[in-house]
Amino acid sequence: MPLQFERALQLLAHAGQAPPPGDPLSPAWQQAMIDRLVELSSRDALTGLANRRAFEMSLEREVDRVARSGEPALLLALDIDHFKRVNDTQGHAAGDQVICAVASALMDSVRPMDLVARVGGEEFAIILPNCASTFGQTVAERIRRRVERMPILLQPSRQELLVTISIGGAFAPQWVRSTPALWKERADQQLYLAKTQGRNLVRLEPSAMSVVSNEEKRLLFDSFQIQDHE
């Protein structure tokens, strides 16, 4: 077997995944192996959520989609409150259990079309396509309450732990050419407000149409100029 496939098998084994069934020399098996490695490269090893790389790629696609279609989309930035305290008092293994429990709660709170990602140690993000501003607060509050009411049973101590999350959110400006960085910055600003105002809170920007930044206005103006010269 070629060395690269031995390495591929090691990567799958490290991630707790079995190799594809069938003949390792067949094109079908090799394609299945490539597909599994691609999937593995887009997943967070601890939680199984989308990782930062997959999140950034999805965010860029969603920005383009909103600019072209005008459909609303919401980006949520989430952070586990006082997570350092969990690590300091319970240990890093307990911290990992908390992260996995919160990740599971987030996945249970959204639609199949939404993307949930772990983008940092205790930091998560959710991209919600086709999410109207009238429903944004409801969705975010549902997620916050789901975590708040979820006892986490730590192993091996069998101790129950309750944690909360802070959530900030921003809508992508519809029909406006924005950037992933600008959209994420807006959501992060709202998350900062949620944490400084007491934590275990949701803070969302107003609807997208009312919050077009100067840079986004410039991007929109530049696009019109390009169209005029075509």
Supply the residues annotated as catalytic: 122
Reference 115, options 201, 30, 180; nearest CA is: 180
Beta bridge partners of residue 126, listed in sequence order? 76, 116
Tokens of 157: 């101590």
Can you say how many angstroms the Cα of residue 226 is from the centroid of all Cα atoms in its chain?
A: 33
How would you label 125-164 residue by residue, b for 16+ Cβ within 10 Å and e otherwise? bbbbbebebeebeebbeebbebbeebebebeeeeeebebb
How far apart are the C-alpha atoms of 43 and 118, rounded to whole Å?
9
Q: Are 170 and 186 in contact (CB under 8 A)?
A: yes
b/e sequence 44-82, b meaning 16+ C-beta within 10 Å: beebbbbbeebbbebbeebbeebbeeeebbbbbbbbbbe
Q: For tokens 């429903």, what's the residue?
A: 135
Q: At what angle do helices 83-90 and 92-108 cross, to 10 degrees?
A: 140
Neighbours of 121 (CB within 10 A): 13
